[in-house]
Amino acid sequence: MSKKIVCFGGGNAVPKLMAELKKYPVNITGVTSMVDNGGSAGQLREDFNVLPAGDIRRHIIALSEAPEWKKELFKFRFGREEFPGGHKGHNFANAFIGGLEYILKDYQKVLKVIYDFMEVRNHQALPATVDKVQLIAELENGKIIEGEDEIDVPRKHNPKLKIKKVYLKPKAKVFPPTKKAVTEADLITFGPGDLYSSTIPCLLPEGMKTALKKSKAKKIFICNAMTKLGETNNFSVLDFINEVEKYMGCSLDLILYNTEVPNKKRIEEYKKEEPLILDLVKIDPELQPSVGYGAGKNLNKKKFIGKNLLLKSGPIIYDPQKIVKTLINLI
């Protein structure tokens, strides 16, 4: 029987991971948060009271067996509206998925139509919740930030302030098929991706913590390579772990993190491309091979796998092949 893998997180990194995993005899479930409120997805959400489709669209493309023209159609943008962040026009898939939800009023039916059209066969892309919610962040000074877009790209608040906690407003329940996938999984991955605007929001619906606790799956966190302004300023590997475990409500079994230090020129070039990127995630002294077990803390170093996870050149992002080889070896 094929092993069942659940991948939590949105953005561009998790879909790349799933596209690589798809080459192996496994069943993949991608889980996205449905809290996006910016760009085309946010506009459709506001106008028609439908769920934002941006992240789930990327998961569907990654898991699709459809011919290239369908994948290109799903990425196609049309119209003249301009959105913050440089996007122009609506994304076809956002409009298509939003339109289906508006007409069918049942997200499971929507997914069935999309899977059929995009030829998603042995896998699935699921929302963490189908309740209409906003992501809220409370900063260390008590200020409340409303909306995933402002947390992701700070425009109206001081991005140097730490995020104290994030939550959903109103409260939401986990989507039942997602809960089922989590409890039946053999392996669950979290990230890589934006911590507070992508990975953690997937864990916030009521019932998700219970499902994760019940699941006998190996739970693996793939720690980001770099920190991000407004979300993970000055974070170390253990800072990421502490936050994720707090919202999971249980412990991680393994943590995969990058040990490669690219040259300064490459880092500077990447920062020019991605102005919100700050520095490499710090590796805590306790994780250094020269330091004894625990190093004064109750730390199980066997849980931590540090290796070179980066692409050989270009942007400082992960090589999906390197990560997937490690995951496959674990199962």
Sign of CA dihedral 325, 199, 140, 245: negative
Sequence-ordered list of residues with C-beta below 8 angstroms from that of 256, at least 6 positions apart, any chain: 220, 221, 222, 223, 305, 307, 309, 323, 326
Which pLDDT does position 85 carry in this prediction?
65
pLDDT of residue 297: 59
Q: Which residue has the tokens 């898939």?
A: 93
Distance CA 61, CA 58 (A): 5
pLDDT at 254: 97
Using a cut of 0.85, tell me whether the model's pTM lies above it: yes
pLDDT of residue 1: 78
User: Domains, the chain, ranges and CATH?
Assistant: 3-33+173-330 (3.40.50.10680), 36-122 (no CATH)
**Helix, coil or strand: residue 37:** coil
Tell me, what's the pLDDT at 290? 62
pLDDT (tens place) for every residue of the chain, 331 residues total? 799 999 999 999 999 999 999 999 999 999 999 999 888 888 899 999 999 998 999 999 999 999 999 999 999 999 888 877 667 888 999 999 999 999 999 999 999 999 999 999 999 999 999 999 999 999 999 999 999 999 999 999 999 999 999 999 999 999 999 999 999 999 999 999 999 999 999 999 999 999 999 999 999 999 999 999 999 999 999 999 999 999 999 999 999 999 999 999 999 999 999 999 999 999 999 998 665 544 445 788 889 999 999 999 999 999 999 999 999 998 8
Helix spans in the chain (H): 13-21, 39-48, 54-63, 68-75, 92-104, 107-118, 148-152, 176-184, 208-214, 237-248, 264-273, 320-330
pLDDT on residue 295: 45
The residues, ordered by sequence, that sit 6+ positions from 301 with a Cβ below 8 Å of its Cβ are: 286, 287, 293, 294
Quickly list DSSP for 232-286: STT-BHHHHHHHHHHHHTS--SEEEEE-----HHHHHHHHHH-TTEEEEPBPPGG
Provide the token pair at 153. 């790209």
